[in-house]
Structure 1
Amino acid sequence: MMESEQTNSENERLSIKNGVYTTIILNISNNYFPLFAISVLGATNYQVGLISSLPPFIGMFAMIIGSLIINRLQEKKMFTVYSFLAARLFLVGIALVVFIPDKYQVIVFIVLVGIMNFPFSFANLSWQAFIGDIIQEDRRSGFFSTRNKMMTLIGMISTFFIGIFLQFFDKTDPIPFVGLYLLAFVLGLLEINYLKKHVEPKKKELPKKRSTHFGISVFRNKAFLYFIISALFFNFAWQMCWTLFSIYQIKYAGATGLWISLFAVANSIGQIISFKWWARMADKHSNAKMLILVSLGMAIAPFITIFSTNLVFLVITNIFAGLFVSGTVLMLFNQLLDVTNEDNRSLCISNYNILLAFVAFIAPQFGVFLLETTNIYTAMNISGFLRAFSGIFFFFLYIYLKRREGVSFKRKMAKI
């Protein structure tokens, strides 16, 4: 028993270290993709939209393939390791984009960012199933709260210093971005090292009877089905203005690399101060109930952002947004684990991520379409309204889960 507890504790410690490096890598690379594309490569609005939507489109196909592989794996750790390594190798290619002819730079950059998500989708999918296996259910809220808080804190610090670093260069200078992407690759090797050190529990041999198709049977689980519907609608509303935020901050408010960093830092501050509160509220009220509040809070961000192009004001709005981003990340993942069973969790997660990837592809493009056909203010307001409306979906999910819990309790009492 003591050995098992030691293993669990060590896995949690390693997962936090692994997550810290993952966060730094994403902050160094993904956070500055739009700025790099607009300021250095001269990308159009639609091209900036593709930076957000092409990766999930490619990832959607990757997850279909990945789900077939992962659902047949008894041990997932090394598959996760190799997938992360393949994804990080693309950062080297992205760093070298500035050395090819100018007319090809934007399209090659977008293609590399998109294709990079093929192995990263494998990595993300297998990591979710892997971490779901090694973290006990009664420890999840507390562990993920601590992990997310630590990741956000380190991410905030790294982002701040990256912003200061970029301030020493002209925003059209590609050299600092080349250095950052190469640094991200080196840090990726450390990220993978801590992932390899995890101890994966040995599983019993998988049963012979397994689904050979795209796991449609998992949707017979009504709790999972209702969660899928609610989460996909919310993610569409949430992600449709990711590109709009970048365009508004860079093109309308004139944000430089330092200000982009300050926005990310402010968002991180909001997340850090709210992680534990969300974890406590989830334990007290349930993830489903708190997702109602999350969706309403997330709805306010687009509305208040377009009040002003003042950069200091935008920093403050990002602090507010961060308060609810932490809840979004924590609640959605925990609720996904709650509505799945251990025997088919990998298959459920695969289906969820494939559908999520499809939404992540169309949502940013829809946001840019609204921007081009109306204006930035109308597009942002529509996103805010849809975010708020998603709270209705989470409300009905909560009601269903409470009723199911009551029925289950009555059946247990009847047996007694």
Structure 2
Amino acid sequence: MSYTKNEKLSFYNGIASTASTNMVNGYIPLFAISVLGATNTQMGLITSLPSIIGMLAVIPGAILLNRVQSKKNFAALSTLATRFLFMLILFIPFLSQTHAAWILVILIALLNFPGSLSNLSWQSMIGDLIPSERRGNFFSSRNRYNTIAALAVTFLSGFFLNLFDKNDAYPYQILIILGFIFAIFEVWYLFKHKEDSTKKENNEQASEHSKKFSMEVFSYKPYVMFLICALLFNFAAQMGWSIFSIYHIKEANATAMWFSLFSVTNQLAQIISIKWWANAADRWGNTMVLFVAAAGMATAPVLTILSANLIYLTLINLWIGLFVSGTNLLLFNQLLKATPDADRTNYIANYTFLLAIVGFIAPQTGVYLLNLLGMNHAMTIVSAARFIAAFSFLFVAIKINKRQSVEAIQLP
């Protein structure tokens, strides 16, 4: 199969990005607790504060992105700034133990400012560069390569960390340095993308009125329908983030090696299933298949609490991964499908802004339910919320199919 130059560069960029972020990101909780002695409060802030900082970045980021000459350059520079701030974690273990954990909290939050700009600009850029008819195939292939890279990097990182004492900062520092080296390649491949100057000029003319952040996007019905479903799903999904970690650590007593196995099996399932989701979306429609993927993810919390056996939990992560690949692929495809080309930046910016609010509230809601009702009831509520969100996608799919049927009947 032949690919355009931009698609190949995006594959290379994705692999480098995955390697850069997966070397340490999954082990930040272990680093914070075992090396820096972070408290539960600090761990909660590590999860929630980045969403608030990201929310503050979205509106000025969208305004700036509408004014820049090159989305590619904007994406590359904001990505470099994000990876540079992450590299500063390297120096935190040299600080006083009293302040080290708080510095990590602040740094993790701050790097999400350029991180949000990077994500926003990349989504807008790639939506311009990849034609709609190629997106399903392109994103399924890119996600598959990224997941393979994530699997390899996670396994090797976990194996490397287990060679050292869990309280030793040295192995984390080595991984941070290696991650920054991969980040240089990530940015380099971004810079090598070729923007379509003709399309860029057309988009500039079509969206001249939107040089400022606009709320008019909420009058576009396909986008509003997607927004309601996506925010509901993300709220339900993110309610469980902190609870899952607490369950694995406190109920199942999982070690770093088991965390690595959870992640590797999850990623392996994503590799196996990603192509199927892309083909299924082409055959039955993106929204209908998104319902199936979201419903599958809804089973995760109730299945998890059935046993604290680590082998069982590893198999559950394999099961969850089958649906994670579908939701990641189909949600992004649906976002691009629900946003017009001419003013895509503002649509994505509004979505990212609201998603940041959800990202702050949802984990706190999950922890509140855990403290109020206990682990089993909290997990059950999370599953119920996810099922409701999944059925919202089904409702939209049925409504779209009904509208298309009516339009087909009315044709002469």
TM category, shorter: over 0.9
Alpha carbons 1:370, 1:379 under 8 Å: kept: yes
Alpha-carbon distance between aligned partners in 2 of 1:286 and 1:74, rounded to the nearest angstrom: 35
Alpha-carbon distance between aligned partners in 2 of 1:49 and 1:270, rounded to the nearest angstrom: 29
Instruction: State the partner residue of 1:226.
Output: 225
Matched residue SS, 1:273: helix
Instruction: State the partner residue of 1:244.
Output: 243
Alpha carbons 2:295, 2:390 under 8 Å: kept: yes
Deviations 1:302-339 (A, max 9, x none): 11112222211111111000000000001100011111
Query: Does the alignment pair 1:96 with 2:94?
Result: no
Specify which of 143, 151, 156 is matched with residue 148 of structure 1.
Answer: 143
Alpha carbons 2:74, 2:121 under 8 Å: kept: yes
- How do 1:17-96 residues align onto structure 2 when only pairs under 5 Å count? 17-96=12-91
* Percent of residue pairs identical: 45
Gaps of 5+ in 2: none
* Aligned AA (2:135): R
Alpha-carbon distance between aligned partners in 2 of 1:217 and 1:377, rounded to the nearest angstrom: 43
Q: Tell me: CA distance 1:34–1:184, structure 2 relative to 1, closer, same or farther (3 Å).
A: same
**1:180 to partner: Cα distance:** 1.3
**1:67 to partner: Cα distance:** 0.8
Instruction: State the partner residue of 2:349.
Output: 350
Alpha-carbon distance between aligned partners in 1 of 2:279 and 2:134, rounded to the nearest angstrom: 12
**1:74 to partner: Cα distance:** 4.4
Alpha carbons 2:210, 2:343 under 8 Å: kept: no
Gaps of 5+ in 1: none
Alpha-carbon distance between aligned partners in 1 of 2:79 and 2:379, rounded to the nearest angstrom: 34
**1:48 to partner: Cα distance:** 1.8
**1:22 to partner: Cα distance:** 1.1
Matched residue SS, 2:392: helix
* Aligned AA (1:180): L
Q: Tell me: CA distance 1:316–1:398, structure 2 relative to 1, closer, same or farther (3 Å).
A: same
Instruction: State the partner residue of 1:283.
Output: 282
Deviations 1:81-113 (A, max 9, x none): 100010011122111111111111111101100
**1:50 to partner: Cα distance:** 1.8
Alpha carbons 1:35, 1:250 under 8 Å: kept: no
Instruction: State the partner residue of 1:303.
Output: 302
**1:214 to partner: Cα distance:** 3.6
Q: Tell me: CA distance 1:403–1:341, structure 2 relative to 1, closer, same or farther (3 Å).
A: farther
**1:44 to partner: Cα distance:** 2.9
Higher alpha-carbon deviation: 184-193 or 173-182: 173-182
Alpha-carbon distance between aligned partners in 2 of 1:198 and 1:209, rounded to the nearest angstrom: 24
Alpha-carbon distance between aligned partners in 2 of 1:42 and 1:374, rounded to the nearest angstrom: 27
Alpha carbons 2:92, 2:103 under 8 Å: kept: yes
Q: Tell me: CA distance 1:41–1:381, structure 2 relative to 1, closer, same or farther (3 Å).
A: farther
Q: How many aligned positions are there?
A: 408
Deviations 1:167-194 (A, max 9, x none): 1112122221121122211211111111
Alpha-carbon distance between aligned partners in 2 of 1:253 and 1:105, rounded to the nearest angstrom: 28
* Aligned AA (2:295): L
Matched residue SS, 1:71: helix
TM-score (norm 2): 0.95
Alpha carbons 2:72, 2:191 under 8 Å: kept: yes
